[in-house]
Amino acid sequence: MNFSTNINDVKVYGLSKILGVQIDIDVESALCRIDWEVEIEAREWGVKSISVYVTKVICSIDWEVYKDSLTDDEKRKLIVAGREYKDTINATIDICSDEKREGKEWTIETNFGSDKNEAICPNEIEIDFETMTITIL
């Protein structure tokens, strides 16, 4: 059985690393689509196991930085990645778990299962650009 779930409870780590600066970057919003499947291994006596696999993650992350806290070098690096406004620089970063970023592949860790209502579905996601890890919770 295949499923697709949209998640807006997204935590992002290491964003400054891929932007080439050493400052805190505010994530304004993020939305991810998780494609996942459930496999049921059944026997004549009943269900032997239920396995959950994430097949693909696609995310769009909107970030923003206030210019007054930046050096000229940081401003130049961030303007290349985004759009400059009166007080801020911002942009959107799109990621797909199937695509490499800076020559590195994403690792997907799946840590979700049934909740207290016995429903199986992802509820939140963590994206770490430093370790290239996407964790589904």
- pLDDT, position 69: 83
Neighbours of 41 (CB within 10 A): 9
Contact 97, 106 (CB under 8 A): yes
Residues of the chain with confidence (pLDDT) below 70:
113-116
Domains held by the chain: number: 1
- pLDDT, position 126: 97
pTM beyond 0.85: the answer is: yes
Q: What is the pLDDT of residues 71-92, one digit of tens each?
A: 999 988 898 888 888 899 999 9
Contact 33, 58 (CB under 8 A): yes
- pLDDT, position 111: 85
Beta bridge partners of 6: 33
Structural domain boundaries enclosing 48 = 2-136
DSSP 9: -
Closest CA to 59 of 106, 25, 113, 114: 106
Closest CA to 134 of 102, 96, 77: 96
